[in-house]
Structure formats: C-alpha cells, structure tokens
Copies of this chain bind each other. A is one copy, B any other.
Amino acid sequence: MNRQLTLTKCLNVKWEGHADCQHCAIRKNDIFANLDVAKYAALLRPILQYNFPAKALLYAQGTPATDVYVIRNGIVKLEETLSDGSVRIVRLLQSGDAVGIETVLDAHQSYDQTAVILRGAAVCKIPSSVFVKLEKENPEFHRVIMEEWHRQLNAADKVIVDFSTGTVHDRVARVLINLAENSKKRNLIEIEMLGVEDIAALTSIARESISRVMANFKRDGLLEKSGPNRMRYNWDGLNDLVKHS
C-alpha cells in the first residue's frame, strides 16, 4: 500500500479528457472492438481517459465498484492481501483487458481485488452505468464481455499453472518469458522488468530467492541489465529452460 496513488490525489495522473472512441487505435484489440461506436457516441461520452504512472492505485479491494477500466496499454496487477499482511497477485491484465469487470454484476457492489498499475498505463474509465447499458442494448457486446471473462480466467490459470507450480527456478523463468510475450515484440528482447516484490507476490516466493535466481540467470547469460528496470533477454535460452523442466 505504500506510495500508491489514488486517482484524485496524484499529480502524475494525467487526465486526458473524454475518450475519443471513434478514433481510438487500441480499440481494435479491446472489448469495444466490433462495437459501432458512432451509434453509441452519446452513451460513450462519460468515458474518461487517464495516464497512470507505475504503482498508481486504480481501486482497492472491498471498495464500491463504480467503474470498469479498460487498459489501452501497460500492465495492471490484481492482488489480494492475506491475513498475515502479505500480498498475492492473482492475475496480470494487459492491453485490451477490462479491470474490475465484476462491476457489471447485479449483486456486486464492491471490487474483488485491489488493482494497481504495474508499468505506466493508459486506461479508459467507464462508469458502471454505461457498461451495463451497452451490454443491455447491444447483444454483440455481452458476447465480447464473456470473452473478457474468459481471458481473465486464463490469466488466473496461468498464475496457478505457470507461476505457482514447480521449483523457484522454473517459476521465475516462466514469469520472465511471460513478460516478454505480453510485450508482443518477440524480437525486441529488451523488457521493462517487474520489481522483485511483484515477482514474489506473483509466484509466492521469497524476495531473496528471486534475487538469487535472477543472479544465476545473469551469470548464465540468459539475462542482462540494459537500463533502469530494464533487462535484455536471451529468449531462446530462457525458453529452453522452461521446456526442459
């Protein structure tokens, strides 16, 4: 919770005004793909665009669920705080995903998890009412929403199968590879790295163990620091690692 930024407090959050869905380049990948935005222009007006810095808090677990956020770019983590105070990330959401999708459920007034920006992200903030209206008026739309639920399930399953299973070594390798896949630029092997703390929360591994494993990867020539928070990958090498395990 330290140094997280709320929407209203943080000066670094850039409010970019009403979203221009008609000309949004990201839209072809997100939940509004295939939506006739011209037709729904009036309805879409309340949608606002923001630029959040890393560590910004979108919403906290248990608070009233009022908006759905669509990620234009960047990565958002959904996390839960355990009874002992430690934090567990239950999934990573990326470009095109809808953060806080539980908002659309009738009997659901509060967010299931805490949503925090991982890498600086541009998001559209959609009031619950708009979302629900869209869904009721447009049969195509709720089909898209179901696909979003499915993507979220896949993201959760990935945390279970890839990030929470096997040795510390394997799990960290899978996280690294997944980060590279997320960036969708296979050949650009330079990646903006997650903090050790976040990898820990994603894998349920001690911070120190992660540090050690990554030090090994560096020694083996699989990783290389290429700037602040940036790593250069040996993509094939890392991939071999997971394949053989």
Q: Which residues of A contact B (CB under 8 A)?
A: 80, 82-84, 86, 88, 90, 102, 104-108, 112-113, 136, 139, 142-143, 145-147, 149-150, 152-154, 156-157, 159-161, 164-166, 204, 242-243, 245
Contact = CB atoms under 8 A, between A and B. Distances in A.
Given A90-B157, A145-B146, A153-B153, A164 B102 contact: no
B102 A150 contact: yes
B160 A164 contact: yes
Contacts of A165: 82, 86, 88, 204
Given A82-B161, A102-B150, 12 more contacts: A83-B243, A90-B156, A90-B157, A90-B161, A106-B143, A106-B147, A112-B153, A146-B149, A153-B156, A159-B160, A160-B160, A164-B164
A150 B149 CA distance: 8
B245 A90 contact: no
A78 to B, nearest CB: 9
Contact of A157 (B149, B156, B166): B156
Nearest to A78: B157
Contacts of A160: 88, 90, 156, 159-160, 164
Contacts of A161: 80, 82, 88, 90
A83 B139 CA distance: 39
